[in-house]
């Protein structure tokens, strides 16, 4: 089948949604399907992209590593008519997600939506962040989901939340898979040597986008607390983002800078080697819908210490592939790291095998096959006229009104900023030059 994937983030952007789209796209193509990805333009876009349509976008929105897509649709319409998709898969409820909905309505195509993100936990990137803005975002995503033919939830936790918020569209749990064979390879000793980490060091690792919603100040504080009790322990940090500075400050404050090893970005095969270099993967995010880095670490045989949270509890099983903590305190997290580091070799081996077994349950080919079967089912239902009225005018009107309200709040805040800027730079009487 011909599948159109529409996403606000894609390579070379590093993040969960971008990686999910990339993985599913690759898996679908391996299974003989055509995929066209519609995504924003980014800096340093790969030159050899296949079937990718890039839409102009504003880069580094409000100091983040996200982009804001500009409303340019003519080239996209032409690409769609040439590609002739059987189905459209949207990965966001706004920006290109809105375009996906309008294209699905225009061409009578089934629309799938993956609810990757708890969007209300990211509104701090928007000027004027408020409780009202958070509620708008929740309502927007819920209304959007009800305009789709099928919703994919990355985990059972997310599916329950969506049902509780009033999503009436059928929901299926479809996790992003992991390439088990790729992450099972690599050279841990070689990577440690390249990073000047002692060969006999105990390496606690973390990988991901380094942003406030990932609870990284807490994580860095807890890891530093453990490092103070174990002179052989080092922290391997992989990723980039606005939280890098606070993490570095914590290690400076604790006089632990020589034992912090930071790499901003890695690609295969070095990424697999980085995981292989770790003995424990530390994770404290509470904003995940699915912790993909957890299954990557487990594919490399690395047990996990993590806080109990949606998207995490479906992967980390206490005493099977790691430790799941219900006490969110620095002391408890540091103690858990100490407890795992102190386990005898035979128990560590059992956790490592448990981790690899969990990763196999999340294999990329299995999750892609499930998604493709669901696509085929929705296409069949559409052809037979059995789908619910996904584009009900009343629901569509609600979604459009929510978009309008969000735009109004944005415009109000921009007007306040513009007025303040004008007042500061207009020059009062004290600024006038004397004749």
Length of the chain (residues): 435
Could you write out the three-class secondary structure of the chain? CEEEEECCCCCCCCCHHHHHHHHHHHHHHHCCCEEEEEEECCCCCCCCCCCEEEECEECCHHHCCCCEECCCCHHHHHHHHHHCCCEEEECCCCCHHHHHHHHHHHHCCCEEEECCCCHHHHHHHCCCCCHHHHHHHHHHHHHHHCCCCEEEECCHHHHHHHHHCCCCCCEEECCCCECHHHHCCCCHHHHHHHCCCCCCCEEEEEECCCCHHHCHHHHHHHHHHHHCCCCCEEEEEECCCCCHHHHHHHHHHCCCHHHEEEECCCCCCHHHHHHHCCCEEEECCCCCCCCHHHHHHHHCCCCEEEECCCCCCCCCCECCCEEEECCCCHHHHHHHHHHHHCCCHHHHHHHHHHHHHHHHHCEHHHHHHHHHHHHHHHHHHHHHCCCCCCCCHHHHHHHHHHHHHHHHHHHHHHHHHHHHHHHHHHCCHHHCCCC
Residues 6+ apart with CB under 8 A from 122: 213, 287
Phi and psi for 93 in degrees, rounded to 5? -90, 5
Q: How confident is the model at residue 221 (pLDDT cuts 50, 70, 90)?
A: very high
Mean pLDDT value across residues 217-232 = 98
Question: In CATH, what number does 2-176+365-419 get?
Answer: 3.40.50.2000
Q: What is the rounded end-to-end Cα distance, in angstroms, of the chain? A: 77
pLDDT digits (tens, 9 = 90+) for 300-324: 999 999 999 988 999 999 999 999 9
Mean pLDDT of 352-380: 96
How far apart are the C-alpha atoms of 372 and 264, rounded to whole Å? 34
User: Is residue 393 pLDDT above 60, yes or no?
Assistant: no
Give the C-alpha distances (Å, rounded to integers) separating 408 from 128, 255, 350.
11, 48, 55
- Look at residue 133 and tell me whether its pLDDT is greater than 50: yes
Average pLDDT, the chain: 85
Mean pLDDT lowest for which of 29-43, 126-140, 291-305, 395-409? 395-409
Q: How far is CA 236 from CA 14, 170, 200, 218, 417, in A?
A: 18, 41, 14, 16, 40
Question: What confidence tier does 412 reach under pLDDT thresholds 50, 70, 90?
Answer: very low
Please, which residues bridge with residue 305 across strands? 282, 323
Pairing of strands 260-263, 171-173: unpaired
Query: What pLDDT score does 200 carry?
Result: 96
Phi, psi angles (nearest 5°) of residue 307: -80, 145
- Report pTM: 0.79
Check residue 119 and give its pLDDT: 65
Q: How far apart are the C-alpha atoms of 219 and 305, rounded to whole Å?
A: 11
The Cα 388–Cα 220 span in angstroms is: 48
Q: What's residue 176's pLDDT?
A: 93
Read off the pLDDT of each residue in 4-22 and give the average, rounded to a whole number. Answer: 85
Domains 2-176+365-419 and 180-362 are alike in CATH topology: yes
Q: Under a CB-based contact definition with an 8 Å cutoff, are residues 30 and 22 in contact?
A: no
For residue 384, what are the contacts with CB-CB under 8 A and spacing of at least 6?
none
**Rounded to whole angstroms, how far apart are CA atoms 244 and 138?**
29
Pairing mode, if any, of strands 52-55 and 34-40? parallel
- 67-95: pLDDT as tens digits: 444 454 677 888 999 999 999 999 998 88
pLDDT value at 45 more than 80: no
Which CATH class, in words, describes the domain spanning 180-362? alpha beta
Nearest to 75 by CA among 94, 112, 103: 103
| C-alpha distances out from residue 381 to 52, 100, 189, 192, 243, Å | 28, 20, 53, 53, 46
Residue, of 97 and 396, whose pLDDT is higher? 97
Q: Lowest-pLDDT range, 200-209, 363-372, 384-393?
A: 384-393
The domain ranges of the chain are 2-176+365-419, 180-362
From the CB of residue 373, how many other CB atoms can be counted at a distance below 10 Å? 11
pLDDT band with cut points at 50, 70 and 90 for residue 125: very low
The CA distance from 332 to 327, in Å, is 6
Spatial separation of the C-alpha atoms in residues 364 and 30, rounded to whole Å: 11
Residues 368-394 have a mean pLDDT of 81
- Report whether pLDDT(129) > 60: no
More confidently predicted of 396 and 3: 3
What is the pLDDT at residue 417? 44
Roughly what angle, to the nearest 10 degrees, separates helices 292-299 and 345-361? 120
Task: Give mean pLDDT, residues 297-301.
Answer: 98
Q: Is the pLDDT of residue 418 over 60?
A: no
């Amino acid at each position: 089948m011909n599948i159109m994937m529409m996403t606000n983030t894609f390579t070379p952007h590093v993040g969960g949604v971008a990686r999910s789209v990339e993985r599913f796209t690759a898996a679908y193509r391996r299974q003989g399907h055509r995929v066209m990805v519609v995504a924003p333009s980014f800096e340093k876009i790969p030159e050899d992209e296949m079937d990718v349509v890039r839409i102009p976008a504003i880069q580094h929105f409000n100091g983040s590593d996200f982009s804001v897509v500009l409303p340019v649709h003519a080239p996209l319409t032409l690409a769609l008519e040439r590609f002739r998709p059987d189905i459209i898969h949207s990965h966001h409820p706004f920006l290109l997600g809105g375009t996906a909905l309008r294209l699905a309505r225009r061409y009578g195509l089934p629309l799938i939506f993956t609810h990757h993100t708890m969007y209300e936990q990211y509104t701090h990137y928007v000027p004027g962040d408020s409780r009202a803005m958070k509620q708008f975002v929740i309502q927007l995503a819920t209304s959007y989901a009800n305009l789709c033919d099928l919703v994919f939830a990355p985990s059972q936790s997310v599916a329950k939340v969506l049902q509780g918020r009033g999503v009436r569209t059928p929901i299926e749990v479809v996790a992003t898979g992991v390439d088990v064979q790729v992450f099972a390879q690599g050279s841990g000793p070689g990577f440690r040597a390249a990073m000047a980490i002692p060969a006999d060091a105990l390496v606690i690792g973390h990988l991901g986008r380094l942003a406030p919603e990932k609870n990284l100040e807490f994580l860095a504080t807890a890891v530093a607390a453990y490092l103070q009790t174990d002179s052989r322990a080092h922290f391997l940090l992989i990723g980039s983002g606005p939280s890098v500075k606070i993490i570095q400050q914590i290690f400076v404050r604790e006089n632990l800078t020589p034992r912090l090893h930071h790499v901003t970005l890695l690609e295969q095969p070095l990424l697999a080697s980085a995981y292989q270099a770790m003995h424990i993967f530390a994770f404290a995010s509470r904003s995940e819908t699915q912790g993909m880095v957890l299954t990557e670490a487990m594919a490399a045989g690395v047990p996990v210490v993590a806080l109990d949270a949606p998207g995490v509890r479906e992967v980390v099983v206490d005493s099977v592939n790691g430790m799941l903590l219900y006490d969110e305190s620095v002391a408890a997290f540091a103690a858990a790291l100490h407890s795992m580091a102190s386990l005898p070799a035979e128990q560590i081996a059992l956790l490592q095998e448990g981790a690899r077994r969990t990763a196999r349950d999340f294999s990329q080919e299995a999750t892609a096959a499930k998604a493709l079967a669901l696509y085929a089912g929705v296409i069949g239902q559409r052809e037979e006229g059995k789908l619910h009225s996904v584009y009900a005018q009343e629901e569509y009107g609600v979604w459009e009104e929510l978009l309008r309200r969000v735009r109004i709040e944005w415009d109000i805040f921009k007007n306040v900023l513009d007025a303040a800027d004008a007042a500061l730079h207009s020059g009062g009487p004290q600024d006038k030059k004397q004749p």
